[in-house]
Structure 1
Amino acid sequence: MNRLARLARTTAFKLSILYFAVFTGLTGFLLVYISQNTNRLMLAQVTQTLNAEITGLPEEYARGGVRALVASIDSRARRPDASLYLLTDFAGNLIAGNIRQMPRIFLDEQEGGFQRVHYLRLTADGAEEQREALVRIFDLRGGYRLLVGRDLGETRILVNILSEARILWIGVVVIMALVTWVFVNRRVMRRIDDIADTSRTIMQGDLSGRLPMAGTDDEFDRLAGNLNRMLERIEVLMQGMKDVTDNIAHDLKTPLTRLRTRVETALRDAKTDAEYREALEATLDESDNLIRIFNSLLHIARIEAMASGDAMEPVDLKPLIEELADLYAPLAEDCGGALEIRVEPGLAARCNAGLITQVLVNLIENALKYAGRAGTPLKIEVSAQRRAGRAWISVSDNGPGIPADMRGSVTDRFVRLDESRSEPGHGLGLSLVRAVARLHGGEVELQDAAPGLTVSFDLALENLEEDRARDERDGRNGAGRRDR
């Protein structure tokens, strides 16, 4: 009983019942409509035929008398059709016709309209058969009575065929409903069960679970694809939260311990106001450093949590990069080097201009910090170009670069090379670059500049001419509406 109750609650069962009810109702209505109109049409044809017969036979009687009428009835009665004829005298005796017996009560009635009657008809082998007909009787001169009718057997056969078709069609609909239920239950419900199983796996804490896709590109595949992308996004955010927690637990433990040790040392060893002041100033510097690290981590987390469409707009990359070059070129010259730019004309991207500027500032400052060592003049190049349908922005330097085996991990938080640990910094710069690139639907590439390092990231291309033309059209349309 529980199994049947569970079955009755399934969508597949409800859809099958709905399909059966709707389709059966529509089909029944259609068959009844066809049956009734077909019967009405055939009766109209029968009536029209009888009217023609009734018009012709009395005329023959008027021209040739009873002999001519009997000859005409005998001739017509031999035709292989469904017409009925009966001619009787004033005493009711059969003179001519193809009807064996007609109810006496009907023959005694006065002349009137068409009526349905049952009669006995002679078959080809002389046997009698009970039939139904539509007939009409009218009187002739001399006491004769003429009956003209039409057998309704053909109409009855058609009605029976339609009734049998209705019963057969209901059976077909039942079978189709069962087939539909099996199909929906086996395929659709299986896909839904897969989604439920994956959801339970995710609720148990395994965010790596993904919904299976059949590869048919149907609505379930599209739903599974969207849910999988949502799960990937959630997994990235959760992993980022976990990374932040792990980073705080491991990488901030040392500065916090150092801060505590400095305070304990001051309390234990400091004797004068100057020594206490020096300890407080060092503690304040260490606290400011910790606050900067926390702010950087929170900033990266906010970027990773942003929706990819937040604050995105068409940006011409050439003016943006030229403005940064004007700002940092003097600093590069002060370091005995040069900062060059190489931007493809008319290159635009849909992006968050503030974040892209922050990324470029971060990369340029890293290049100023590490490039131009070992007596080599500092050289920094910022470039932007089209590649594979995307806008790629790169910052290259001639510094020591990053070993190939470390390029996959330096974009993680707090990862620093051994030779750069003596330099100021926290190892969060490239993490910020990766977060901003992913926000824009791109990735970060680290390549050997021989010598030095090239850091590249990609953005979605934008056609500024089309945007300007659309804005002009919108402006004209708005002005036209205001004028009206």
Structure 2
Amino acid sequence: MAALARLRLLYRHTAVRLSAIYLLLFSACAAVLVLYVTSISDGQLQTRMKESISEEVNQLEDIYTEGGVASLLRVLERRSHQPGANLYVIAGPSGEILAGNVAGLQAGVLNEEGWTDKPFLYNRFGETAKKDRHQAIAHVIRFENGLRVLVGRDVGEPENARLLVRKALMLALGVMGVGALVIWFAIGRNALKRIDRTSLAAQKIMAGDLSQRLPETGSGDEFDRLAGSLNVMLARMERLNEGLRQVSDNIAHDLKTPLTRLRNKAESALAKAEDADDYRLALEEVIGDTDQLIRTFNALLMISRVEAGSAAAEMSVVNLSEVAEEFGELYEPVAEDAGFILRRDVAPGVVVRGNRELIGQAISNLIDNAMKYGDNPDAPEITLSVASSADGVRVTVADRGQGVPEDKYGDVVKRFFRLDESRSKPGTGLGLALTVAVMELHGGRVGLSPTEAGKEHPGLSVTMVFPLG
């Protein structure tokens, strides 16, 4: 029972079931092949044997016609003693054997002229027992004087040849079958081990460890291609899950303060307001804070939509030069009102494949950030440039403000992260995070660097690099 239970457990594996099916199909095909080859071999041997007998019968008829009985007897006597000779019998009109290399024939064989209907029994000289009787096929000739001549061939030779071919084929197929089982065992065990490793990794992933990856051997086969695709998906899921965790933490910390402030203003208005103007002023402040919260949540929703890839289907050919010029013209009067000079250095005819709305939103965020944090009384300049390079298409927004310490480059692109010195300024801390999400959607990257390194106001240059083609 235990062995039967283990067999049932083993048969649950797909590889074992498929191997059993393949083995049955292989065995069936092998049996059909053996039967086909042996039947073809037997048929060819029978055909050649009959052709040989027919040719010899024609020769004997010619010899009899030219030389008579004496010549026929001499030829048959000589041929009957040759190695591997056919069966020769010369019988009289009444059927008695006069000469030949056969001691006795099955009754009635010489009665009909032409080919025998089926193999008949005969005895060789020196053999009398029934067990010594042999089978043959023959062609019988009857001449005008009543003389009968039988020319035949023992069927044991083709039968032995057929059995020999069958045994050789069975042996070859048996060796092939054993070899196939050995190869399956070696390859099947390796495949099952890979499946077991994959299953173990999947169990850890289902347990919540998204850092796990499916094993890859580097062979590039179907398992590796499948594992590679799933690993890319897992990496994206891990990144999205981490982003969701960060958003939850950031909402809990960064949005708690404005919500508390909003509540305090409403409570203060209820407690201290004396007339309609006081209530109106309090409501305007509440509306302003509410608008800021709405902008924050809209930015979060935009980032989530981009990271989820929902805008990927809206990709088209975008003239990046036109988009940059459009936003440069849009922000130029705004920048002048804020005390900045917005310079444009846009190469004409630069195109990429992407989402025009998201690219425009990213450029808008960078210009807006530059105006918020790029204040420099000596050089109030912001530069918007578009150019093609060997590694991709670059869109750069550079200011000459206080800049960002290089050790903080990895932090400022996170959601809600803001430097201490910038917390007093309006903003949500989501502009660069959205830009990074947009570039990941487009298969590009975001790079940060000082505009003019080594100076008191190094500034910050934010570059969006789109892939070529």
TM-score greater than 0.5 by the shorter chain: yes
Partner of 1:59: 62
The verdict on how the C-alpha distance between 1:107 and 1:297 changes in structure 2, with shifts beyond 3 A counting, is closer
2:388 aligned residue (386, 391, 396): 386
Partner of 1:468: none
Q: 1:343 Cα shift? A: 3.2
Partner of 1:420: 422
Q: 1:447 Cα shift? A: 0.9
Are 1:218 and 2:221 matched, yes or no? yes
1:13–1:181 CA contact under 8 A, matched in 2 = no
1:347–1:386 CA contact under 8 A, matched in 2 = yes
1:403 aligned residue (402, 405, 418): 405
Q: Bigger CA drift: 185-194 or 216-225? A: 185-194
Q: Distance in 2 between matches of 1:334 and 1:196?
A: 62
Q: 1:227 Cα shift? A: 0.9
Partner of 2:447: 445
Are 1:133 and 2:136 matched, yes or no? yes
2:110–2:140 CA contact under 8 A, matched in 1 = no
The verdict on how the C-alpha distance between 1:432 and 1:380 changes in structure 2, with shifts beyond 3 A counting, is same
Are 1:460 and 2:467 matched, yes or no? yes
AA aligned to 2:411 is S
Are 1:209 and 2:201 matched, yes or no? no
Partner of 2:81: 78
Q: Bigger CA drift: 42-51 or 162-171? A: 162-171
AA aligned to 1:404 is E
Q: Distance in 2 between matches of 1:168 and 1:16?
A: 21
Q: SS at the partner of 1:409?
A: helix
Q: SS at the partner of 1:328?
A: helix
1:169-189, Cα deviation, whole Å (9 max, x unpaired): 553454255335424531223
2:89–2:97 CA contact under 8 A, matched in 1 = yes
Q: 1:457 Cα shift? A: 1.7
AA aligned to 1:433 is T
The verdict on how the C-alpha distance between 1:173 and 1:308 changes in structure 2, with shifts beyond 3 A counting, is farther
2:411–2:417 CA contact under 8 A, matched in 1 = yes
Q: Distance in 1 between matches of 2:317 and 2:285?
A: 46
Partner of 1:48: 51
The verdict on how the C-alpha distance between 1:319 and 1:259 changes in structure 2, with shifts beyond 3 A counting, is closer
**What does 1:16-27 align with in structure 2 at a 5 Å threshold?**
16-27=19-30
TM-score (norm 1): 0.86
Q: Bigger CA drift: 89-98 or 213-222? A: 89-98
Specify every segment of 5 or more residues in structure 2 that has no aligned partner in the other structure, as ranges: 453-457
Partner of 1:352: 355
Partner of 1:477: none
Q: Bigger CA drift: 331-340 or 419-428? A: 331-340
1:342–1:383 CA contact under 8 A, matched in 2 = yes
Q: SS at the partner of 2:215?
A: coil
Q: 1:396 Cα shift? A: 1.2
Partner of 2:245: 242
Q: Distance in 1 between matches of 2:137 and 2:286?
A: 117
The verdict on how the C-alpha distance between 1:110 and 1:429 changes in structure 2, with shifts beyond 3 A counting, is closer
Q: Distance in 2 between matches of 1:165 and 1:6?
A: 37
TM-score (norm 2): 0.89
2:289 aligned residue (286, 289, 299): 286
Q: SS at the partner of 1:461?
A: coil
The verdict on how the C-alpha distance between 1:59 and 1:284 changes in structure 2, with shifts beyond 3 A counting, is closer
1:17–1:177 CA contact under 8 A, matched in 2 = no
The verdict on how the C-alpha distance between 1:323 and 1:274 changes in structure 2, with shifts beyond 3 A counting, is closer
Q: SS at the partner of 1:416?
A: coil
Q: 1:250 Cα shift? A: 1.1
Q: 1:285 Cα shift? A: 2.8
Q: Bigger CA drift: 90-99 or 25-34? A: 90-99
2:346 aligned residue (336, 343, 348): 343
Partner of 2:34: 31
AA aligned to 1:457 is M
1:359–1:433 CA contact under 8 A, matched in 2 = yes
Q: 1:51 Cα shift? A: 1.6
**What does 1:91-102 align with in structure 2 at a 5 Å threshold?**
94-102=97-105
Specify every segment of 5 or more residues in structure 1 that has no aligned partner in the other structure, as ranges: 463-484
AA aligned to 1:403 is P
The verdict on how the C-alpha distance between 1:81 and 1:385 changes in structure 2, with shifts beyond 3 A counting, is farther
Are 1:4 and 2:22 matched, yes or no? no
1:376 aligned residue (371, 375, 378): 378
**What does 1:239-278 align with in structure 2 at a 5 Å threshold?**
239-270=242-273, 274-278=277-281
1:97-119, Cα deviation, whole Å (9 max, x unpaired): 2223323x145534342341232
Partner of 1:156: 159
Q: Distance in 2 between matches of 1:402 and 1:190?
A: 51
Q: Distance in 2 between matches of 1:295 and 1:304?
A: 14
Give the length in aligned residue pairs. Answer: 456
Q: 1:444 Cα shift? A: 1.2
1:361 aligned residue (351, 358, 364): 364
1:87–1:145 CA contact under 8 A, matched in 2 = yes
The verdict on how the C-alpha distance between 1:388 and 1:83 changes in structure 2, with shifts beyond 3 A counting, is farther
AA aligned to 1:188 is A
2:327 aligned residue (303, 324, 327): 324
Q: Bigger CA drift: 292-301 or 398-407? A: 292-301
Q: 1:207 Cα shift? A: 1.3
Partner of 2:193: 190
Q: 1:9 Cα shift? A: 2.3
Q: Distance in 2 between matches of 1:370 and 1:394?
A: 16
Q: SS at the partner of 1:211?
A: coil
Q: 1:334 Cα shift? A: 4.7
Q: Distance in 2 between matches of 1:383 and 1:89?
A: 120
AA aligned to 1:120 is N
Q: Distance in 2 between matches of 1:250 and 1:336?
A: 33
The verdict on how the C-alpha distance between 1:172 and 1:343 changes in structure 2, with shifts beyond 3 A counting, is farther
AA aligned to 1:206 is D
Are 1:199 and 2:202 matched, yes or no? yes
AA aligned to 1:230 is M
Q: Distance in 2 between matches of 1:372 and 1:255?
A: 26
Q: SS at the partner of 2:138?
A: strand
Q: Distance in 1 between matches of 2:213 and 2:124?
A: 79
